[in-house]
């Protein structure tokens, strides 16, 4: 067999190792999920790959396992302490879930007329923060980073015992009630107990043994 | 090609490119004359006589809450404010350092609110606080300390690298003020004559950590040392702005620090001070309690002038001809501005006079 | 020598009828033959003359005209 | 490090000054130092890979050349004793020994590339294949950070080694000089893949300062930056937006995405090559052209003779020809000639090697199926158009109007659109998704997006569109003018002053209309701190 062919065969063989499965995909074939290979994008600028940032749709066929469902509507208070997964991080005020980080306008509309509104314009620019009070609940918004006219929800404060969290804890309850309902906090100091999830947190500020204020807030 | 011909050609090309770019840079640099005026505050100082006994350094709680004209009229004290929007503490320090190149005030007043910002905040405010400065080691220090990670030092040295794409947003202002901005301020004071009574200030939302960052303490210490070296009296104040909240935990830290280093610390939010200064949040603020208007600023300046005069033998320099000339001009513009704003208020309902 | 040349011209004629291969001297440089024609030509030539034409032989000097091709074949045969 | 990093620009300006100041014999050493520093900046560990390639190539090529010389001496020494057959057998045996060394070199280097770049892709697929027969395989999936420019410098060096084996030119005896050929910094980012005999002439000559050469070189660099920074970077956000959300942007949006990407890729890639060739020109190092007005080509084969030329010629010389003239291929052609008839037999080698080459070209672009499918599709279209050339010729003979310029224009547009559609694989990086999106172009006629202002919601302002349209026109006119030779040269010949003005205008255009810095994201300026 002419040795010359080896040169070509070797070249081609080194490349063809991935050839075994054909492109046409059967259901479970993960032929396209070349995660590592793809993300370590070849620097071949011809495909200008390194210019296309990693925002490319992940071409993996398996759908990710569903995120732990964020139960936004109120649950019946359970006895067993809720693990972080099932704590409601979006406070519900007369039927409307206030999801921090989301656009404020639609939520504020549903909440209806606020008792008082405090506007805090920024030092020099057009955007402002707003404080809406609904009885014992105070909702705080902030101007979107890139679009000044768009306001986003930043925080919900429960300032008196008239409002309770979805898990049934309210201002004035004791620290032990809190631990009974919420379990061990993610972060804790004598002044506050904080339960945190990705990008959000609910904080219980303590005055000695009892809760003096409850704050749902964004975590940057 | 003879060697020198090449050099001449090379030089000619670089010079022409440089000249065109410099002219273009001036065109696209923001003029801060219409919507956001605070951008010219820093540069404004250099057009003054630079002879002041009292110097305010700080953010909008300085340049909107004290009227230097009142200090001059009531006490003959020549004062200036070197402040800019959300001026951070190291920016105040470097501005003080820069000012000491030109003059030696007797008293420096620093508003402590900016202690709450421990690291660089955002590019837009940095630009307004730094670009007005004349080139000096202070400006370089200021840039290095304030740059957020998306900024490049080069774009401060050549602002055209930053503003080059503003050709699509040019307005008449860019041409009108091409050769320089009109004086808009009164020795660093930003005047507002409209009134908007204070709203019910919402409850302060508690923080998880009240401690100021080490950077802030470090720069406060350097500011104190700089004043000591030039035997200048440093006075710490907290202006009477109802928002952003000034937490008691913060106040305690500043009070302890002041006691430790024997520095005077005046918190205008305390009831006794509010009473003494006579500040009334129904009439003395133009944005619902965040900043004082001209009436509040005059009250505050009047009280504070007395406070400073008793303690730090500030002379009445109102008879010095040079100062007199400079301040007469400032006072004239000051009164004219109040009148103009009041006329606009009646006609348009806002001070800017826009329909 | 020239019956090699005749067969070569015969093969070339199959590839492109409208080219005067007799005295055309810029087959490659003039982009008359492209890489496809070259490969087909080689497989024909090695079939006809039982010579092995290696890749390093594929240079314009050897392929620019029928004569050049003939010389190459002759060389390979008596190597 | 990219061309647009300010560090690169300053380094380049410094290099230009120092290059012409130091004595002529140190100049290539300066280039080597610059190249090493440039490469080290991208990561010290990467130096190991490029060092390994340079060292192994240097060692093997020197050995091959020594063996070839020894063989020649032996033959001439025994000129009288040996018969022709003995001489032929001896030369054949010696050649085999040399070839064994070459193969060793190729396996080592391409094996390294295969592991680093394609290891993960291969393992993933093997795991997938195992998955067909039950539980998904758990072979280890390596995850290497790709060293910069490996696909460029590796192919360039292997080409050099094969040329030395083919005794096309003598090998480089000085390791440092070879290292410079392997790592010449402008080529590390986007190529082109040069040949040793072309590049070496200028690389080691250390040519002195020459006003015309430097002026034209600087202009070409600025022209490259104009394309990259003013056009490619300006349209990139729109391209990213259009292709990152296939659910929302379908139909005419997909068409827009394809067109925007075609412009972005053309401007970015040819811009980068202009900068590389410009740098070479300033330093007196001629670098081979990588593009020749690709969107003027009338068919796909012509397109691939005008786009990324050096990659095409590399694959032709070092893969297409060797594969198609290899013995097994000739045997295959003989076998098929008898079995399937003369016509098929004649063309079989060409078909097989074309598909093999395009498979490898696709794979070269990236370790993912979308690149491989992109390559194979190119092969299929090339072969189809090859088969149909007799038909085309008849058509052109019959209808005279088809040889007119407008028809050429139509063909050029058709080819550009076709190649643009093939490029969609780069964008969506998912084979079925790309076909689906391509399909939506014909099924979803949301043409209203062109008129109802939704063009403005693609992160492009009116000013951006203005610059892009003007830029495209400038590109077009420059290409038209460029057909009769370099525009910059003609301007230089007409008047030196005009040429200087051109340089200044180019510099100002890049600085003013470039999409760089925070200013580009203008909304950021009014960004307000919460």
- Per residue in D120-173, pLDDT (tens digit) is 888 888 888 888 888 887 888 877 777 888 889 999 999 999 999 999 999 999
pLDDT in tens, B218-242: 999 999 999 999 999 999 999 999 8
pLDDT at A25: 28
* Yes or no, beta carbons of C42 and D324 under 8 Å apart: yes
Check which CATH number belongs to the domain holding B228 and give it: 3.40.50.1110
pLDDT at D310: 93
User: Touching check for D148 and chain A: CB below 8 Å?
Assistant: yes
Across the C:D interface, residue pairs with CB atoms under 8 Å apart total 49
DSSP for D315-332, written as a single string? HIIIIIHHHHHSHHHHHH
pLDDT at B56: 96
**Is D524's pLDDT higher than 70?**
no
- Nearest Cα neighbor of A43 from D375, D269, D374 is D269
pLDDT in tens, D281-336: 999 999 999 999 999 999 898 999 999 999 999 999 999 988 888 888 888 887 88
Q: Domain segments of chain D: what residues?
A: 6-208, 210-287+451-518, 298-415
In a domain, B175, yes or no: no
Chains that touch A (3 or more CB pairs under 8 A): B, C, D
Q: Which domains does chain C have, with CATH numbers?
A: 2-78 (1.10.1200.10)
* Yes or no, beta carbons of A2 and C54 under 8 Å apart: no
Strand order in the sheet with A187-189: A116-121, A128-134, A137-143, A151-158, A210-218, A200-207, A192-197, A187-189
* CB-closest option in B38, B205, B288 to A124: B38
User: Touching check for B265 and chain A: CB below 8 Å?
Assistant: no
pLDDT at A14: 38
Q: How many domains does chain B have?
A: 1
Q: Which residues contact D522 (CB under 8 A, 6 or more apart)?
A: B165, B166, B169, D461
Most D CBs within 10 A among B165, B167, B243, hence the mutation to make, goes to B165
pLDDT in tens, A16-65: 333 333 222 222 223 322 232 222 233 333 333 333 332 233 333 333 33
- The residue assigned the tokens 């995909």 is A25
In a domain, B71, yes or no: yes
Q: Which domains does chain A have, with CATH numbers?
A: 84-218 (2.60.460)
**Is C6's pLDDT higher than 60?**
yes
Chains B and C contact (Cβ–Cβ under 8 Å for 3 or more pairs)? no
Chains that touch D (3 or more CB pairs under 8 A): A, B, C
User: Touching check for D239 and chain A: CB below 8 Å?
Assistant: yes
Tokens of D462: 């009116």
pLDDT at A83: 52
* CB-closest option in B85, B124, B202 to A118: B202
In a domain, B174, yes or no: no
Q: How far is D259 from chain A (nearest CA, A)?
A: 15
Q: Are D496 and D212 contacting, i.e. CB atoms less than 8 angstroms apart? A: no
- Nearest Cα neighbor of A111 from A131, A134, A91 is A134
C79 band by pLDDT with thresholds 50, 70 and 90: low
Give phi and psi for D494, each to the nearest 5: -70, -50
In chain B, the largest separation of any two C-alpha atoms, in whole Å, equals 82
pLDDT in tens, D48-106: 999 999 999 999 999 999 999 999 998 888 888 888 888 888 888 999 999 999 999 99
Calculate ∠ Cα B321-B322-B323, nearest 5°.
Answer: 95
Q: How far is A105 from chain B (nearest CA, A)?
A: 20
% of residues, chain B, pLDDT over 90: 76
pLDDT at A47: 34
Q: What was the ipTM of the complex prediction?
A: 0.78
Q: What is the mean pLDDT of residues D468-488?
A: 93
pLDDT in tens, A136-189: 888 888 888 777 778 888 889 888 888 888 888 888 888 888 888 888 888 888
Give contacts of D517 with chain B, Cβ < 8 Å.
Answer: 152, 155, 161-162, 164
* CB-closest option in A12, A40, A154 to D145: A40
Q: Which chain C residues touch D if contact means CB-CB below 8 Å?
A: 34-36, 38-40, 42-44, 46-47, 52-56, 58, 79
> Which of A65-79, D58-72, D362-376 comes out lowest in average pLDDT?
A65-79
pTM of the model: 0.85
pLDDT at A55: 29
User: Touching check for C31 and chain A: CB below 8 Å?
Assistant: no
> Which of A102-106, D65-69, D344-348, D507-511 comes out lowest in average pLDDT?
D344-348
In a domain, B123, yes or no: no
Give contacts of A52 with chain D, Cβ < 8 Å.
Answer: 239-240, 243, 426-427
Question: Taking CA atoms, what residue in C is nearest to A2?
Answer: C52
Give contacts of A2 with chain C, Cβ < 8 Å.
Answer: 52
Chains that touch B (3 or more CB pairs under 8 A): A, D
3-state helix, strand, coil in chain B (%, to 5): 50, 10, 40
Calculate ∠ Cα B227-B232-B236, nearest 5°.
Answer: 75
Please give the residue range of the domain that contains residue B306. Answer: 53-116+181-348
The answer, yes or no, to whether the previous bond of D290 is cis (omega within 30 of 0) is no
* Yes or no, beta carbons of C39 and D322 under 8 Å apart: no
pLDDT at B237: 95
As a whole number of angstroms, the distance between CA D325 and CA D317 comes to: 11
User: Touching check for D175 and chain A: CB below 8 Å?
Assistant: no
- Nearest Cα neighbor of B15 from D95, D381, D403, D507 is D507
Question: Taking CA atoms, what residue in C is nearest to A5?
Answer: C54
In a domain, B232, yes or no: yes
User: 99-128 in D: which are within 8 Å (CB) of A?
Assistant: 99, 102-103, 106-107, 110-111, 113-114, 117-122, 124-128
* CB-closest option in D128, D371, D432 to A21: D128
- The residue assigned the tokens 């300026």 is D525
User: Touching check for D248 and chain A: CB below 8 Å?
Assistant: no
- Nearest Cα neighbor of D527 from B195, B36, B250 is B36
% of residues, chain D, pLDDT over 90: 58
pLDDT at A126: 67
Which helix (H) or strand (E) segment holds residue B220: the answer is helix B214-229
pLDDT in tens, D245-262: 888 899 899 999 999 999
Q: What is the mean pLDDT of residues B299-327?
A: 93
């Amino acid at each position: 067999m002419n040795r010359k062919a080896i040169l070509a065969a070797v070249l081609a063989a080194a490349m063809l190792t991935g050839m075994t499965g054909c492109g046409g995909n059967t259901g479970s074939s993960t032929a396209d999920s070349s995660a590592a290979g793809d993300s370590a994008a070849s620097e071949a600028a011809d495909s200008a790959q390194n210019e296309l940032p990693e925002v490319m749709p992940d071409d993996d066929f398996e759908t990710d396992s569903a995120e732990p469902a964020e139960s936004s509507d109120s649950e019946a208070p359970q006895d067993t302490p809720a693990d972080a997964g099932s704590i409601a991080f979006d406070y519900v005020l007369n039927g409307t879930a206030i999801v921090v980080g989301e656009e404020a306008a639609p939520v504020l509309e549903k909440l209806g007329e606020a008792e008082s509104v405090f506007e805090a314009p920024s030092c020099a620019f057009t955007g402002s923060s707003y404080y809406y009070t609904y009885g014992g609940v105070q909702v705080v918004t902030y101007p979107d980073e890139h679009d000044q006219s768009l306001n986003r929800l930043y925080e919900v404060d429960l300032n008196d015992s008239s409002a309770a969290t979805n898990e049934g804890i309210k201002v004035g309850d004791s620290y032990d009630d809190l631990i009974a309902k919420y379990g061990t906090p993610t972060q804790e100091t004598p002044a506050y107990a904080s339960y945190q999830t990705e990008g959000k947190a609910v904080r219980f500020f303590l005055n000695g043994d009892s809760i003096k204020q409850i704050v749902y807030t964004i975590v940057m | 090609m003879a060697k020198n011909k090449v050099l001449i050609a090379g030089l000619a090309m670089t010079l022409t490119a440089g000249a065109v770019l410099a002219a273009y840079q001036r065109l696209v640099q923001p003029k801060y004359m219409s919507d956001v005026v605070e951008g010219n505050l820093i540069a404004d100082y250099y057009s003054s006589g630079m002879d002041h006994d009292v110097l305010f350094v700080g953010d909008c709680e300085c340049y909107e809450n004290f009227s230097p004209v009142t200090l001059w009229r009531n006490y003959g004290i020549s004062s200036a404010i070197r402040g800019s929007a959300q001026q951070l503490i190291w920016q105040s320090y470097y501005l003080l350092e820069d000012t000491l190149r030109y003059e030696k005030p007797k008293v420096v007043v620093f508003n402590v609110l900016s202690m709450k910002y421990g690291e660089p905040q955002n590019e837009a405010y940095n630009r307004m606080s730094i670009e007005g400065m004349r080139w000096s080691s202070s400006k370089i220090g200021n840039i290095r300390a304030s740059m957020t990670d998306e900024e490049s030092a080069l774009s401060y040295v050549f602002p055209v690298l930053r503003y080059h794409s503003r050709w699509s947003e040019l307005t008449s202002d860019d041409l009108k003020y091409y050769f320089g901005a009109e004086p808009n301020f009164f020795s660093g004071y930003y005047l507002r004559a409209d009134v908007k009574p204070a709203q019910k200030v919402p409850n302060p939302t508690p923080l998880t950590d009240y401690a100021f960052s080490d950077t802030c303490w470090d720069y406060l210490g350097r500011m104190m040392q700089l004043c000591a070296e030039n035997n200048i009296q440093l006075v710490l104040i907290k202006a009477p702005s109802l928002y952003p909240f000034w937490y008691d935990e913060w106040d305690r830290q500043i009070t302890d620090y002041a006691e430790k280093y024997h520095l005077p610390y005046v918190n205008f939010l305390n009831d006794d001070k509010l009473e003494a200064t006579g500040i009334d949040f129904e009439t003395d603020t133009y944005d619902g309690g965040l900043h004082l208007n001209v009436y509040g600023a005059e009250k505050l300046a009047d009280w504070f002038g007395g406070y400073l005069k008793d303690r730090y033998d500030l002379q009445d320099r109102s008879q010095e001809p040079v100062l007199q000339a400079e301040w007469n001009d400032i006072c004239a513009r000051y009164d004219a501005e109040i009148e103009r704003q009041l006329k606009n208020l009646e006609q348009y309902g806002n001070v800017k006079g826009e329909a | 020598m020239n019956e090699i040349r005749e067969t070569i011209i015969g093969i070339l004629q199959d590839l492109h009828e409208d080219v005067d291969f007799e005295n055309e001297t810029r087959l490659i440089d003039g982009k008359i033959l492209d890489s496809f024609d070259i490969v087909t030509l080689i497989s024909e030539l090695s079939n006809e003359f039982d010579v092995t034409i290696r890749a390093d032989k594929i240079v314009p000097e050897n392929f620019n005209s029928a004569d050049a091709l003939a010389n190459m074949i002759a060389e390979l045969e008596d190597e | 490090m990219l061309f647009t990093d300010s560090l690169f620009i300053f380094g380049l300006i410094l290099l230009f000054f120092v290059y012409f100041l130091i004595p002529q014999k140190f100049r290539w050493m300066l280039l080597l130092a610059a190249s090493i520093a440039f490469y080290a900046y991208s990561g010290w560990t990467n130096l190991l890979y490029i060092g390994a390639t340079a060292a192994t190539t240097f060692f093997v090529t020197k050995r091959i050349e020594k063996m070839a010389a020894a063989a020649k001496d032996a033959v001439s020494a025994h000129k009288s004793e040996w018969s022709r057959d003995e001489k032929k057998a001896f030369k054949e045996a010696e050649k085999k020994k040399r070839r064994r060394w070459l193969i060793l070199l190729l396996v080592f280097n391409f094996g390294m590339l295969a592991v680093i770049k394609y290891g993960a892709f291969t393992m993933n697929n093997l795991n997938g294949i195992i998955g067909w027969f039950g539980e998904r395989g758990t072979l280890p999936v390596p995850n290497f950070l790709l060293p910069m420019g490996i696909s460029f410098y590796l192919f360039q060096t292997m080409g050099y080694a094969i040329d030395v084996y083919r005794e096309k030119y003598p090998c480089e005896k000085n390791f440092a000089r070879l290292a410079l050929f392997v790592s010449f910094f402008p080529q590390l980012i986007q190529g082109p893949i040069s040949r040793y005999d072309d590049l070496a002439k200028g690389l080691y000559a250390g040519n002195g300062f020459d006003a015309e050469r430097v002026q034209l070189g600087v202009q070409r660099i600025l022209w490259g930056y104009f394309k990259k920074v003013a056009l490619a970077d300006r349209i990139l956000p729109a391209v990213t937006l259009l292709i990152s959300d296939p659910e929302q942007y379908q139909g005419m949006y997909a068409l827009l995405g394809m067109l925007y990407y075609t412009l972005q890729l053309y401007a970015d890639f040819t811009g980068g090559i202009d900068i590389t060739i410009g740098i070479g020109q300033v330093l007196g190092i001629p670098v081979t052209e990588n593009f020749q007005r690709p969107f003027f080509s009338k068919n796909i084969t012509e397109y691939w003779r005008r786009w990324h030329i050096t990659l095409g010629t590399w694959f032709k010389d070092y893969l297409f020809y060797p594969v198609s003239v290899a013995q097994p291929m000739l045997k295959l052609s003989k076998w098929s000639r008898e079995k399937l008839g003369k016509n098929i037999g004649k063309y079989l080698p060409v078909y097989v090697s074309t598909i093999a080459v395009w498979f490898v070209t696709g794979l070269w672009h990236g370790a993912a199926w979308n690149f491989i499918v992109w390559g194979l599709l190119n092969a299929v279209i090339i072969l189809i158009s090859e088969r149909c050339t007799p038909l085309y010729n008849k058509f052109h003979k019959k209808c005279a109007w088809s040889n007119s310029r407008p028809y050429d224009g139509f063909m050029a547009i058709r080819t550009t659109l076709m190649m643009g559609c093939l490029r969609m694989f780069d964008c969506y990086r998912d084979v079925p998704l790309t076909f689906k999106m391509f399909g939506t172009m014909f099924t979803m006629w949301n043409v209203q997006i062109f008129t109802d202002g939704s063009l403005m919601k693609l992160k492009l302002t009116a000013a951006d569109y203005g610059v892009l349209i003007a830029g495209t026109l400038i590109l077009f006119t420059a290409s038209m003018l460029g057909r009769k030779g370099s525009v910059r040269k003609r301007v230089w010949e007409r008047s030196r002053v005009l040429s200087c003005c051109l340089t200044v205008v180019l510099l100002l255009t890049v600085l003013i209309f470039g999409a760089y810095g925070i200013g580009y994201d203008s909304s950021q300026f009014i960004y307000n701190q919460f």
